[in-house]
Chain A
Amino acid sequence: MANIAWPPASKRGLIGKSISRIDGPEKASGRAKYTYDQNPASLLVAKMLTSPYAHAKITALDTSAAERMPGVRAVYVFNGVGKEVNWEGHEIVAVAADTEELAEDAVRRIRVEYQQLPYFVDDADLAQAAKDGRARQLGAETSGDPSTGFQQAEVTSEGDYGIPVITHCCLESHGSVAQWQGDKLNVWISTQNVSGSAGEYAQSPELNVPASNVNVDCQVMGGGFGSKFGVDTWGLAAAALAKKAGRPVKLMLERKEELLMAGSRPSLRGKIRVGAKRDGTLVAWDSDSWGTGGMSVVGIHGLLPYIFRGIPNRGSRYTAVRTNTGPARAWRAPNHPQACFLTMAALDDLAAKLGMDPLDFFVKNLPLAGERAALYQEELQKAAELMDWKAKWHPRGDKAPGPTKRGVGLSIHTWGGLGHDSYCRTTIHPDGSVEVATGSQDLGTGTRTVINIVAAETLGLPLDGVRVEIGDNKYPPDGASGGSTTVGGVSSSTRVSATNALNELLAKVAPGLGTTPDKLEAVGGKVQVIGDPSKAISWKKACARLGTTPIVAMGQRNMSLISSGVGGAQMAEVSVDVETGVVRMEKMVAVQDCGLIIDVKTAMSQVYGACIMGTCYALHEEKIMDQQTGTCLNPNMEFYKLSGLDDVGDIVVHMMTDSAIESRGVIGLGEPPVISPGAAIANAVANAIGVRVPDLPMTPGRVLDALGKGEKA
């Protein structure tokens, strides 16, 4: 009998190796079909009318001119007369027409009258937010006695820090294609939640369709980062329009809509005071912070200080500010990058004031960092080695001649990553072919590959001996892919299901080999007596014993195979031109643990991607709102800036793997590596130029202002 426990390192043929993603060639060649590529016969295209105002009441709405246009097939009203729209981009009407152009023209024929209402979009202006009644303290925390703590402190540092609202910038925008076949609804949708989407359609009274009649398909997707859990109002609209028109409808967001309405990451700004003994021991923390998640009251309450929760005397208060901006959604490691930046920057400033190397300062205070202190220390040491930290670090302000100053900075982070609930079905056919199916989704992270590796390893087959089926809700349900929960879910459910299937096969085969199932194993494309390759039959022959009936075995997430909780350390090296304020990334070192790694290559790929994403928000990325008009000034990829390949520098990734770490089982990885880059890069800039650039992104203007070189108006 095969056991579900992960095989030891000596017996792994695939798990823990570096394997290229199995759908890479399909994606690179363009054969992979994304939601955008679905073009069922007689497809209509839908476009939306959204609010041009930050806040308004709709006083009149006339869609008749649009409806009269030849080729316009259906109109759907999200928000009609009497409804309030609360941000620029708030959805009002969608129109489905024969062509995209026609749909756009029809949208322009819709007449809307608005009564404009007071609005507020500038979350940096806390005083104004308070005056407008838009600021609400979400929580306050005190531990020990902060005022005594600061009296005991021999060195205190105080600063203002801020990180703005950014968006998800999925390469593939949100959207779906909906098609009715009688009373059945087929949707292709770019979603992080294949198994959970049917229920959302079923809740819509307008659609009047039971979940059992909804088929959801998402084979490949161009990223979600936390913004694609729901089918969204525009997903329901596509289905409703398709129903009205009696033809399939495609509704994908335009890039502008994507940036305005499809999710953003809350800002976080604050004033922080930290105190330490002269030897660097942290004794006191106090922070007043605020941020906006749009109209929803969300935020980081309870996360400051980040990681160093053991500071004996600490107070923190967090205020949520409501702004008339597109709503916040989970953004890769929700709230952690913001809390991490504020905390690590404040601590780094204190280390500088103490005249300490921040590496020594952080290590000294790791006892305040909770249960993962030893792991952080190990990771910091590894990162320091890969960065050559001790050679590169210098006290603040590079003294080298010339305008280009170099500096290094560091940060640590943590995340949970417990696998979500997951079911998997393994089918072994009498001809030896194998199919593994689960209603999961591959956001681009390598989920399909991971499932393949686990199933093939379990069955002793090569990768191409197993066909993986995901991205369809007809398969056994799997949770939404968020919070680094996918790999734990699917790897354990796949392992259990493949093991269960294998055990049924072994039971069939054992008598013929003159033994009992517990003496058999599947390795190298054979079923053999454990440790005795001479007593073996090929996989194909073993399966032939099934006659005409395949084996079908289920498996569910299993807690003995997975766990939660990781650490990570990152170091950044930058060069800054102090005459222009331009920051260049030289190098990032990312050291990360995540338990047992199924596929080293796709895991590392996650970390590389996170470092790039982190560079984007550290240096360039910002949703820029204009209080005068209530609108977003940069809803495009021209002035909403992301790093290009030339902007990211060298990235060195090190995955922590040893038997102790692997014994924790599989833990998710998507979130943690994106938490530290903002802090590490900002600290490197401070180390290079000698002063803190208080706000991200660190654009040339902000760097020059910090250096006192920006002129005042």
Chain B
Amino acid sequence: MRDFEYGNPSSLKQAITLLGANFDEAQVLAGGTDLISLMKDYVVTPRRVVNIKSIAELRGAQETAAGLRIGSATVLEDLFERPAPLHPFPSLRTAIEGVSSAQMRSMGTVGGDLLQRPRCWYFRNGFGLLARDSQGRSLVPGGDNRYHAIFDNAGPAYFVCPSSLAPPLIALGAAARVTGPKGSREVSIAELFRTPRDAGESEHTLGPKDILTEILIPARSRTLRNATYEVRERRVMDWPLVTASVALRMEGKRVRQATVVLGQVAPTPWRAEAAERALAGKELNEAAAAQAGDAAAQGAHPLSRNGYKVQLVRVAVKRALLQAIA
């Protein structure tokens, strides 16, 4: 591991001053479940690591008039301690329960889940985020892409966003507070992510001096019917192959408005707008859920070895919808 400085600030302000002009200068450390491994493997090599877990204001969840505020450095397992805050959001609960293992949930944070780096094995094995060989050709289309993107995968990015919490948070209309040297701003969760178009771009929109400080799930979302369905090969210690999170504004048995967000299918969390349109105004039953699943799969472009993920999208969406109204 490259030598690095360790900053352990107790205030947000101090933390921001410790960050650098680029990610090679400094990176934020929260749960440390992944950053340290990436550093050991020289996939990332920051000169300074800034721990934000000692900053009290970044930890814990609070019910407010505006909604549920969750500090970005809140440990996932802590969200279960008082079941009350997550009660209206089974979609979020399912996603958290699906995070790998009790050990990961006991160390990992909400912000860390959102901003973790992709699990793409070419990236992890040192071929860069865009997985290119020495001639600059992408390795993914002709390689083993069983876990790669089926949407927004025209290149150069083929990895999938690994966040478990992003799909339910986006479906629930949550916002993120980002604080930088010039103050703080609120953005939608979806706006945290982008599909990089060239080698210099990160998959997150945060700047090197920004810190994700808080998540807000608005109060109005409490009345949404919501659910997450994850398809996973192993029950524990595994990444979902595809996830679907749905949030429904119902009028009796009819869907007034639906939000359907897929995970593990694109370089960003993937909004399935065709599925949302297919649901609007419909009575939600098995057939309508299946139709929405089919609609969600429209426009998928599987690579050589991940065609099965298209089917998983169909079924994950269908099952999430049926679970949401069960």
Contact = CB atoms under 8 A, between A and B. Distances in A.
A523 to B, nearest CB: 50
Interface in A672-708: 699-701, 704-705
Interface string B267-301: 00000000000000000000000000000000011
Interface stretch (B109-117, B165-173, B302-310): B302-310
A641 B117 CA distance: 20
B302 A712 contact: yes
Contact of B236 (A619, A646, A701, A710): A646
Contacts of B305: 701
Contact of B233 (A104, A626, A633, A700): A700
Contacts of A579: 311, 314-315
Nearest to B316: A580
Nearest to A698: B233
B163 to A, nearest CB: 16
Contacts of B307: 701, 705, 710-713
B232 A701 contact: no
A709 B127 CA distance: 32
B63 interface: no
A682 B306 CA distance: 22
A582 B231 contact: yes
Contact of A713 (B127, B236, B241, B302): B302
Contacts of A627: 143
B311 A704 contact: yes
Contact of A628 (B119, B133, B302, B314): B133
B112 to A, nearest CB: 16
Given A582-B231, A701-B305, A638 B119 contact: yes
Interface string B225-257: 000000111111110010000000000000000
A4 B305 CA distance: 61
A101 to B, nearest CB: 7
B308 A701 contact: yes
Interface string B120-145: 01101101000001000001001110
Q: Could you say which of A620, A634, A709, A711 has the most chain B C-beta atoms within 10 Å of its C-beta?
A: A711
A647 interface: yes
B73 interface: no
Given A633-B121, A638-B119, A712-B307, A628 B142 contact: yes
B1 interface: yes
Contacts, number: 101
Q: Could you say which of A101, A579, A645 has the most chain B C-beta atoms within 10 Å of its C-beta?
A: A579
A647 B306 contact: no
Nearest to B146: A701
A629 interface: yes
A644 B133 contact: no
**Interface of A, helix, strand, loop or mixed by DSSP:** loop
A110 to B, nearest CB: 15
B133 A713 contact: no
Nearest to A108: B42
B266 interface: no
Interface residues of B, number: 38
A628 B231 contact: no
A713 B312 contact: no
A704 B234 CA distance: 16
A289 B138 CA distance: 33
A555 interface: no
Interface in A100-132: 101, 104
B315 A713 contact: no
A710 B308 contact: yes
A581 B311 CA distance: 10
Interface in A500-519: none
A628 B125 CA distance: 13
A473 to B, nearest CB: 36
Contacts of A580: 231, 311-312, 315
B308 A709 contact: yes
Interface of A: 101, 104, 403, 579-582, 619-620, 624, 626-629, 631, 633-636, 638-639, 641, 643-647, 699-701, 704-705, 709-713
Interface of B: 1, 119, 121-122, 124-125, 127, 133, 139, 142-144, 146-147, 231-238, 241, 300-312, 314-315
Given A701-B308, A704-B312, 12 more contacts: A580-B312, A624-B121, A629-B127, A629-B139, A633-B121, A633-B144, A635-B125, A638-B119, A639-B147, A643-B234, A701-B309, A710-B311
15 contacts: A403-B315, A580-B311, A582-B231, A582-B232, A626-B143, A628-B133, A629-B127, A633-B122, A636-B124, A639-B119, A646-B235, A701-B305, A704-B308, A711-B311, A713-B304
